[in-house]
Structure 1
Amino acid sequence: MADTILVINAGSSSIKFQLFAIEPGEQLDRRLKGQIEGIGTRPRLFANDANGECAVDQSWTTDEVSELHQALEKLVVFLREYVGSLPVAIGHRVVHGGPEFIEPTLVNSWILDHLLRFVPLAPLHQPNNLAPIRIVLERLPHLLQVACFDTAFHRHHSEIADRYAIPDRFYREGVRRYGFHGLSYEYIALRLPLVAPEIADDRVVVAHLGSGASMCALKGGKSIESSMGFTALDGLPMGTRPGQIDAGVVLYLMNEKGMTVKDVEHFLYHDCGLKGLSGISNDVRDLLTSVDPKAKMALDYFAYRIALFGGMLATALGGIDGLVFTAGIGENAPTIRQAVADRMSCFGIKLSEVANAKNELCISSESSRVTCYVVPTDEELMIARHTLQVLQKHEMPEERRA
């Protein structure tokens, strides 16, 4: 079998992975897509092959897979049996790269320790992203690993876009607006010339709507502004995160409610957003089927804020020629898309009711002044491409193929 690249996106209790074969002409062929879930509770490994057929579905007791390193060992065993060898490289999604890391980076111990500095800026993601990198470095040190950063795509914003109105010394220390979901936006930017060439080089607002949600302004395929800032708390409301919030609210929670820094951190990352607004669920699918007025209010708020940020990003672009929806909600929730479009009708946005309901590629009506699309994202493929590019710059010792 051809050499392979493994892509890993690790969470607190799960490891999502995809395996890509490197075919002639440096083409990437997706061979496996799977996950180890329930680490420490009900551990289960499942994956589908390129045809969507089940390649593995295996469960273990909690004692057998209680920690991340045990889950990785199970994944290694499966890959050796299924593929016959380990991958030649692993690409990892790393949410925060800080001001220094602006491109995919080959990871060593020094790089890993440096990336740990950004854990406070992405406490939900960064520790989990970095944990498997450290484990592989310790146990398979010759296996090439590449960190691909969600912040990198936005690192060429203007200084005005990146700054907060605080003293300069903090900006120089790295307190600035970074933006996230960059791997998704980079993929969309590369995809638009193929699926929507008429807007690919123009002024496009992209809405990445999932459990984590943000928006990005693209001009000529480059990011010039984003809804997220210093951390992944900013911008749009999300499943459990509030999005944009007055810093005075944080001061109030600490001064008047006696909450500690850790209390506030947990509150903002776990108890707010759609979950906090509705009191029901952080899942849009649950809210769409609920008859509770609070569910409707949460969804109305979500659509309102998306439209509000859409207008802000259109201003940053000097106008808007295209609107793209992507990620889980963006790709699969016609009701949300319609609600956003209705609120942005002042820009000349009008959806085709039929095309929108069918989740078609182009969902705008013929009379719409702004062309609207639903474009599925593929962050894993983006990571695999970046990993291959780094791989091509480095020799692959035979022990990496063992």
Structure 2
Amino acid sequence: MANNKQVILAVNGGSSSLKTAVFDSDTLEELFTAKAKGLNAEKAVLEIKDANGKSILEKEDQLDSRQAAEAIIQWLKDAALTITAIGHRVVHGGLQHRVPEQISASLLADLEALYFVDPEHLPAEAELIRQFEKAFPKARQVACFDTFFHRDLPEVARNFPIPEKYAEHGLIRFGFHGLSYEYIWETLQQEIAWLDDKKLVTAHLGSGASMTAVAGGKSVDTTMGFSPAGGLVMGNRTGDLDPGVLLYLLKNENLAVADLEELLNKNSGLKAIAGNSDVEALLKSRNRSKKAAAGLEHFCYSARKFIAALAAAMGGIDLLVFTGGIAENSPDIRQLICNGLEFMGIEIDERANEKDTVISATQSRVEVRVIKTNEERMIAKHVKAILQES
């Protein structure tokens, strides 16, 4: 189909998914979405939709990230859209790269040096950049970093209690899922008066999960630190871990660094506890499987504990927001997490939790909301800002 409209393409590669969206370059109206989920599994689903949510193309196949990208690229070429710029979500850019910037050979080299910090995302993200750059050589390529939102973390939340020289080498707490947190804050600004005076905890719960305390639009503290493996118990990742455990595994179990990396990022978390990292599957089997029940208990216990800790970091909490694939789609998980937080003034209305965006009970001192995140829109917004600067 012929189409001369100038557009911005947002590319958001995850550990098991690839989400892209096409936006009008001038208005940032979302025109199309193309999403692939279940990558590297037995069956992945790729679906392309128009602005009205109507499915244009749906495909089920065994796909990895590269194959999914090729399918999306082919559709984009067939659509004959004029892609002026492509924005890429990049999880980690180290100390030198946090502000959105145009992609260069030197940036890609810097990212390659960080592969060991985030082996789940960075290599695949760099490959996606190369794929789309090759497919659309005239489009400007822009990196949008997940760490940008956390760039002003207070020193007490940013630094580890280790010798200062290591911080100078980049060993600090960066925080992640920043594009999602940025989107949530901007969405709330349109709906809540005096938001700058509110103390907010946002829980981004997906296969990777984190939480952030936000006050005045700035990240005050966050659960993920130096890498996306820290913080909450996750699908395949450990979350926070006693350093002595790592020393034990290296010394007593004779694990090589590569084995340890595999263990921490791919074979831990819910997968280790319950034998399955799929929360939806665990919810279905929890009444007949002790392992499934234990996995969910670990996940929700971890979440409850961090909500309380982040509230303590701000000296209180006015608003709790659930976002991310798991939190957006599972009333059960939201209820299980909030059970036991009544002492903080957090109470859920069961009926509202099934269908509404505001799910707190009337008597709840803390407002609880569910907001669908849109990292792709934030990517497009950052790209447009860079285009306007130049």
Query: Displacement, 1:139?
Result: 5.8
Other-structure match for 1:180: 176
Q: Secondary structure of 2:295's partner?
A: helix
Other-structure match for 2:13: 10
The aligned amino acid for 2:280 is R
Distance 1:272 1:337, change over 3 A: same
Deviations 1:286-319 (A, max 9, x none): 1111020121111111111111111111111111
Q: Is it true that 1:269 corresponds to 2:265 in the alignment?
A: yes
Q: Is it true that 1:367 corresponds to 2:350 in the alignment?
A: no
Q: Secondary structure of 2:20's partner?
A: strand
The aligned amino acid for 1:284 is V
Alignment of 1:222-237 (within 5 A): 222-237=218-233
Q: Secondary structure of 1:190's partner?
A: helix
The aligned amino acid for 2:56 is A
Q: Secondary structure of 2:152's partner?
A: coil
Distance 1:66 1:277, change over 3 A: closer
Distance 1:29 1:201, change over 3 A: same
Query: Displacement, 1:57?
Result: 3.8
Other-structure match for 2:281: 286
Query: Displacement, 1:199?
Result: 4.6
Q: Is it true that 1:78 corresponds to 2:88 in the alignment?
A: no
Distance 1:387 1:355, change over 3 A: same
Equivalences, count: 384
Partner Cα separation in structure 2 for residue 152 and residue 334 of structure 1: 30
Deviations 1:318-352 (A, max 9, x none): 11111111111111211221122222211111111
Query: Displacement, 1:14?
Result: 5.8
Alignment of 1:82-161 (within 5 A): 82=79, 84-138=80-134, 140-161=136-157
Other-structure match for 2:352: 355
Other-structure match for 1:51: 52
Q: Structure 2: which 5+ runs fail to align?
A: none
Other-structure match for 1:328: 325
Partner Cα separation in structure 2 for residue 66 and residue 165 of structure 1: 39
Q: Structure 1: which 5+ runs fail to align?
A: 395-402
Query: Displacement, 1:137?
Result: 4.0
Partner Cα separation in structure 1 for residue 190 and residue 65 of structure 2: 42
Q: Confirm or deny: 8 A CA contact 2:73 2:135 kept in the other structure.
A: no
Q: Secondary structure of 1:101's partner?
A: coil
Distance 1:197 1:374, change over 3 A: farther
Q: Is it true that 1:248 corresponds to 2:244 in the alignment?
A: yes
Select between 371-380 and 97-106 the one with higher mean Cα deviation: 97-106
Distance 1:338 1:196, change over 3 A: farther
The aligned amino acid for 1:6 is L
Other-structure match for 1:201: 197
Other-structure match for 2:381: 385
Over aligned residue pairs, what C-alpha RMSD do you find? 2.3
Query: Displacement, 1:182?
Result: 0.4
Query: Displacement, 1:49?
Result: 1.1
The aligned amino acid for 1:337 is R
Other-structure match for 1:345: 342
Q: Confirm or deny: 8 A CA contact 2:18 2:65 kept in the other structure.
A: no
Partner Cα separation in structure 2 for residue 212 and residue 140 of structure 1: 30
Partner Cα separation in structure 1 for residue 45 and residue 302 of structure 2: 37
Query: Displacement, 1:195?
Result: 3.0
Q: Confirm or deny: 8 A CA contact 1:101 1:149 kept in the other structure.
A: yes
Other-structure match for 2:294: 297
Q: Secondary structure of 1:177's partner?
A: coil
Select between 213-222 and 50-59 the one with higher mean Cα deviation: 50-59
TM-score, with length taken from structure 2: 0.92
Partner Cα separation in structure 1 for residue 189 and residue 381 of structure 2: 18
Q: Secondary structure of 1:225's partner?
A: strand
Give the percent of matched residue pairs that are identical in Structure 1 and Structure 2. Answer: 40
The aligned amino acid for 2:301 is Y
Deviations 1:85-123 (A, max 9, x none): 341100101000211222211111112212222211111
The aligned amino acid for 2:319 is G
Partner Cα separation in structure 2 for residue 248 and residue 154 of structure 1: 28
Other-structure match for 2:22: 19
Q: Secondary structure of 1:120's partner?
A: coil
TM-score, with length taken from structure 1: 0.89
Q: Confirm or deny: 8 A CA contact 2:210 2:224 kept in the other structure.
A: yes
Q: Confirm or deny: 8 A CA contact 1:92 1:383 kept in the other structure.
A: yes
Query: Displacement, 1:43?
Result: 8.3
Q: Confirm or deny: 8 A CA contact 1:90 1:146 kept in the other structure.
A: yes
